[in-house]
Structure 1
Amino acid sequence: MPPALPRRRWLAGCLGGPLLAVRPLPAWAQAAAAPSSPLPAGVRAALAQARLPESALAVWVAPAEGGAPSLAWGEHQARNPASLFKLVSTAQALDQLGPAFTWTTRCLGQGRLKGDVFDGWIGLRGSGDPTLVLERLWLLLRRLRQRGLRTLRGPFYLDRSAFAQIDPRADGFDGEASRPYNVRPDALMLNQRSVLLSFVPDAERGVAEVLADAPLAGWQVDRQVPLLNRTPCEDWRAGLKARLDLPERLSFAGGYPAACGERQWPVAYAAPQRFDARLIAGLWAELGGRHEGEFKEAPLPDGPHQVLAEVESPPLGQVVRDINKFSNNVMAEQLALTVALQADGPPATPAGARAGLERWLRAQLGAGGAEGVVVDNGSGLSRDTRLSAAQLGRLLQGLWHRPWQPEFLASLPASGLDGTVRRWDLPPGLARLKTGSLRDVAAVAGYVQSPTGWRVVVAQLQHEGTVPTRPVLEAVTRWALGPAGERAATPPDGGQAAAR
């Protein structure tokens, strides 16, 4: 297994969907549900408990192998699927690239090596690899040191020409520039332009040590913060009073609750356009190297060159697991752009990726089956994307019969075990579900194993304000699971403890 594994959980988990505003449903969709609602009693009870009208919910449940739905409600209303759209982008990639597809990032150069001094240019050519995290970049640079290079006396090129230039600023969507889920895609995406901060309490010294995993050259981080012994571990990040908007220094004006124990906080770097050069410089220095030239944001020079080192990504069948299990936005957008790059050549553009996704999705849904579909990007981080529950359900039915179905199914979070449904109140492992959430939107879609075989389940909620929506989605999933789901919903004492 590549060394990237230790970072997969935090880098992917932290990049899931934010709480964001979406356009409200039209008036006709907000009408009260008819008295003859076919929704199961448990679902109606969960909606009532959340104080949501039945019209807020759309449901579609049917056999995975194909056939008519056994439960359908509001299924033709085109709604915002949020991160459920990652089901589309990962399926498209598996279909058009294949589960064995990999990305290769090469370090190229032209010059002369005299002793341990390389006199000439050197550079990285990005291929869109969404998995080029800290450990894999370290291995690439270490290969240069193994080949005898220590001092680099020429320019270091960062070649991003495989993708069209995309504004690297991460605050265009919701103003939360420090949230890693907002990081923009790039052909040369190093460590997802994020840093993992670890806070380690030291009771004897009365401080919490602050450890930053990425050694960004020229970036200073306060090494410790006061330890708060009487403060509960609630909104501990806000209590740190961190300045995350400065590219030269990360400082804290608050303290860290001792009750929290050791915690981690992934943050996006404040100056994304400078992140890659600083990370390479920092890692190269840690490896004992020196760089006496400058970093250049430009394609590699024409003419002869040699491959000095290269690193290959894990196969796509593994990468889609990171995307779907932890709802990683930037990886999903990297993937959609990669499909466009392979189909149309460089530079891949967001418009090309969007067009490719829409063509593929319409082909899966068939003539007349894509009415109301709106595609924005590959991640679902959008206010404009629209898909109905029936369209998602029919798509999942079709995917069930594809040769790469095992890889796709394995990429979905397993209920009660991992990913975004690890803490859901469902039987462990009997459901494979992708979740999606924005402010005013909550959704789930995937496959469940019922006594009659595998079923497709899709549930979409659109509502106003902050309400507890997960019990509603759990209730739909439990109904689709059948008796096993009903047992999971019943406390061992038959509910008497709750009554007390």
Structure 2
Amino acid sequence: MRLLRTVLASSFAALAALAAPGAAAQQPQPQAFPPEVDAALARARVPRESVTMLVADAEGTRPPRLAWRTQVPVNPASIMKLVTTYAALDTLGPAFSWSTPVYVDGTVSNGVLNGNLYIKGQGDPKLVLERAWLLLRRVQGLGITTVSGDIVLDRSAFESTTENDPAAFDGEPLRPYNASPEALLVNFKSVAMSFTPERGGQQARVNYEPPLASVSMQPTVPLVPGECGDWRAALRPDFADPNRIRFNGGLPAACGEKSWSVAYADPRTYGLRAMGGLWAEMGGRVGGQMRDGRVPPGLRPAFEFASPPLTEVVRDINKFSNNVMAQQLFLTLGLVQKNRGTFEASRAALGQWWRDRVGTGEAPPVFDNGSGLSRDERISAAALGRMLQLAWRSPVMPELVASLPASGVDGTLRKRALRSGGAAHLKTGSLRDVSGVAGYVHGASGRRYVLVAIANGENAGAARAAFDALVDWASQDN
């Protein structure tokens, strides 16, 4: 215990910048390691040396209540989305939106565009199915039902991102969270399938959204006996061929209606197939082909399709930990700040923002793609705590806090209510060998606290109960 107190004292000294100058001069000791947190770590067999913890006044006017290994850079997993989203709110503003311009190159008569139609992506993270439909509906509102030439998708705003291997991170290329960003990101490059048993029948109908041009999609699967269990495996899916989706098994009848979203097998052609399928389903025709290309110089847009505001996008990113949306936002920062849609430009933009706004008192973060879906990103609890205190005092604090999952209410914290009955808004993070939470805790006294708790190591996932205990402890301050 004597050694532990010595380490805690040294951690607090390094965190003096988090407290007001007057408070730092007094150098009071942080509270001892909360016994309930210590016990939870012991039960989970997670050593103290695998975790970093900080509980500090959100205003930065008092010394930290707890500071443990706060100077150690760790992999934050999806907690890194806090940095990306706050930086975006701070630099772009809550009302920022993305524009997707549409160009008509030719004359329109009797419903026919005698030429090409161009759609230029500029990073919109939320061009989901219904919004892609609305964009094409606006094209038809121009009096166009047939394009005699080509429909061309311009994805040049982000450089080389479509060549990323979706299996590179964890060998799971069909997981939607592994979708790579691109300037014209349609529906997260995923296919949503619903399986609906026919009443009194022997099969279930399969509905696919969106329809994909030139892809054969099996319309039904047989119903089979047995418990529901691992119904996805029972379907024996075959997604390997980009030109067809089929199932070699059946849906257990006990399951009832089910839904399943998967990443498309050929992400490079997904946008072309999705937009082509939607256009055909809406009654549109193309005389030429759907293809990639660039808008001719000097051509002016017929209209520009606006995204939802940044506040809505940030809420989706943080509440549901959407990786590809976070990467779209990260790349947008590079595009806006450095006029280049590359990860390198975005890392430079975030690094400059961090130095200008957060300062150099703590070791700066190591940025990779801004989503936390990375083995290279690093940040210390002290640095993240400083940023969260800055965010608490900023004009965009309401937008940032409202974007975070609320304990026991929604997002990734929907099933993690505080035993104390308190409240917290926290971003979660989880990878193999990484687990954590960070954000704001609302104390019973009325005070607000910044909390950071991250575990790195073989048994990191087991630390969740200890972090929940820490949040409970932080909320009980009266």
Shorter-chain TM-score above 0.5: yes
Match of 1:340 in 2: 334
Aligned residue for 1:469, secondary structure, equals: helix
Measured in 2, the distance between the counterparts of 1:332 and 1:295 equals 28
Quote how far apart the aligned CAs of 1:465 are: 4.7
2:416 to 414, 424, 427: 424
Measured in 2, the distance between the counterparts of 1:189 and 1:335 equals 12
Residues 241/53 of structure 1: CA separation in 2 closer, same or farther (3 Å cut):
same
Measured in 2, the distance between the counterparts of 1:363 and 1:208 equals 58
2:346 alignment partner AA: A
Match of 1:274 in 2: 269
1:458 to 445, 452, 456: 452
Measured in 1, the distance between the counterparts of 2:253 and 2:37 equals 41
Aligned residue for 2:462, secondary structure, equals: coil
Moved more, 112-121 or 87-96: 112-121
Q: TM-score with structure 2 length normalisation?
A: 0.89
Residues 90/228 of structure 1: CA separation in 2 closer, same or farther (3 Å cut):
same
Residues 77/406 of structure 1: CA separation in 2 closer, same or farther (3 Å cut):
same
Quote how far apart the aligned CAs of 1:429 are: 7.5
Matched, 1:226 2:222: yes
Residues 65/266 of structure 1: CA separation in 2 closer, same or farther (3 Å cut):
same
Q: Deviations over 1:241-291 (max 9, x none)?
A: 212222011112233334443332211111111111111111111111111
For residues 119-130 of structure 1, the aligned pairs below 5 Å read 119-130=114-125
Match of 1:366 in 2: 359
For residues 391-410 of structure 1, the aligned pairs below 5 Å read 391-410=383-402
Kindly indicate whether the alpha-carbon contact (under 8 Å) linking 1:178 and 1:245 is maintained by their aligned counterparts in 2: no
Matched, 1:238 2:238: no
Kindly indicate whether the alpha-carbon contact (under 8 Å) linking 1:269 and 1:275 is maintained by their aligned counterparts in 2: yes
Match of 1:5 in 2: none
2:181 to 181, 185, 189: 185
Quote how far apart the aligned CAs of 1:225 are: 2.5
1:208 to 190, 195, 204: 204
Quote how far apart the aligned CAs of 1:50 are: 1.2
Quote how far apart the aligned CAs of 1:418 are: 0.6
Matched, 1:479 2:473: yes
Quote how far apart the aligned CAs of 1:106 are: 1.6
2:41 to 36, 39, 47: 47
Matched, 1:331 2:330: no
Kindly indicate whether the alpha-carbon contact (under 8 Å) linking 2:46 and 2:459 is maintained by their aligned counterparts in 1: no
Residues 123/433 of structure 1: CA separation in 2 closer, same or farther (3 Å cut):
same
Match of 1:138 in 2: 133
1:470 to 464, 471, 474: 464
Q: Which runs of 4+ in 1 moved over 4 A?
A: 32-37
Kindly indicate whether the alpha-carbon contact (under 8 Å) linking 2:319 and 2:410 is maintained by their aligned counterparts in 1: yes
Match of 1:195 in 2: 191
Match of 2:287 in 1: 292
Measured in 2, the distance between the counterparts of 1:229 and 1:65 equals 60
Quote how far apart the aligned CAs of 1:33 are: 11
Match of 1:390 in 2: 382
Match of 2:13 in 1: none
Residues 69/154 of structure 1: CA separation in 2 closer, same or farther (3 Å cut):
same
Q: Which runs of 5+ in 1 are unaligned?
A: 1-31, 485-500
Aligned residue for 1:468, secondary structure, equals: helix
Measured in 2, the distance between the counterparts of 1:182 and 1:445 equals 23
1:312 alignment partner AA: A
Quote how far apart the aligned CAs of 1:379 are: 0.5
Kindly indicate whether the alpha-carbon contact (under 8 Å) linking 2:101 and 2:301 is maintained by their aligned counterparts in 1: no
Residues 44/275 of structure 1: CA separation in 2 closer, same or farther (3 Å cut):
same
Measured in 2, the distance between the counterparts of 1:43 and 1:229 equals 47
Match of 2:95 in 1: 100
Q: Deviations over 1:77-126 (max 9, x none)?
A: 11100000000000110011000001111211111112111111111011
Residues 258/456 of structure 1: CA separation in 2 closer, same or farther (3 Å cut):
farther
Kindly indicate whether the alpha-carbon contact (under 8 Å) linking 1:199 and 1:264 is maintained by their aligned counterparts in 2: yes
Aligned residue for 1:58, secondary structure, equals: strand
Residues 78/305 of structure 1: CA separation in 2 closer, same or farther (3 Å cut):
closer
1:69 to 64, 69, 72: 64
Measured in 2, the distance between the counterparts of 1:479 and 1:80 equals 24
1:75 alignment partner AA: T
Equivalenced residues, count? 449
Q: Deviations over 1:36-87 (max 9, x none)?
A: 5832111112112212212222110011111321011122211100000000
Measured in 2, the distance between the counterparts of 1:214 and 1:39 equals 52
Kindly indicate whether the alpha-carbon contact (under 8 Å) linking 1:448 and 1:456 is maintained by their aligned counterparts in 2: yes
Measured in 2, the distance between the counterparts of 1:408 and 1:331 equals 16
Matched, 1:353 2:346: yes
Identity of aligned residues (%): 48
Aligned residue for 1:281, secondary structure, equals: helix
Residues 467/320 of structure 1: CA separation in 2 closer, same or farther (3 Å cut):
closer
Match of 1:159 in 2: 154
Measured in 1, the distance between the counterparts of 2:399 and 2:264 equals 33
